[in-house]
Amino acid sequence: MVMKILKIKKRQFFDNLFKRELKIFSEKLLYKEEVLKMSRNSKLISNNLREEIAKELGVYEQVKKDGGSWGNVSSKDCGNIVKKAIEIANRSVEK
């Protein structure tokens, strides 16, 4: 009898643990999906500004060579584009 109760309690414990873990996982998944949806829907930098900065930094030739794809642009160059865009934004706010 005691063993049966212990088995039931153990099963309930693991069922509850599984339910909590599943809930946490689903919340994380929903959050991740929301972040991805937001990033796809919002443009932080216009295409024209990004292209102008890339031309200024000498990166746009790579993009043109790849048929307009930014996939082969290094993360360092992308970071420099963002850095330059922030500088431009700060200058426009100061004026």
**Could you tell me if 32 and 63 are in contact, meaning their C-beta atoms sit under 8 angstroms apart?**
no
Q: Exposed/middle/buried for 91, CB within 10 Å: 0-12, 13-18, 19+?
A: exposed
- Selection from 40, 35, 44, 30 nearest residue 78 by Cα: 44
pLDDT of 67 above 80: yes
Span 64-92, average pLDDT: 87
This prediction has a pTM of 0.52
* pLDDT recorded at residue 57: 93
Q: What does the alpha-carbon distance between residue 21 and residue 70 come to, in Å, rounded to a whole number?
A: 38
Both tokens assigned to 40: 């796809």
Residue with more model confidence, 10 or 67: 67
Listed by start position, the domains of the chain span 1-42, 44-95
Residue 2, Cβ neighbours under 10 Å: how many? Answer: 6
The pLDDT tens digits of the residues spanning 5-62 come to: 777 777 888 888 888 888 888 777 766 666 556 545 556 678 888 889 999 999 999 8
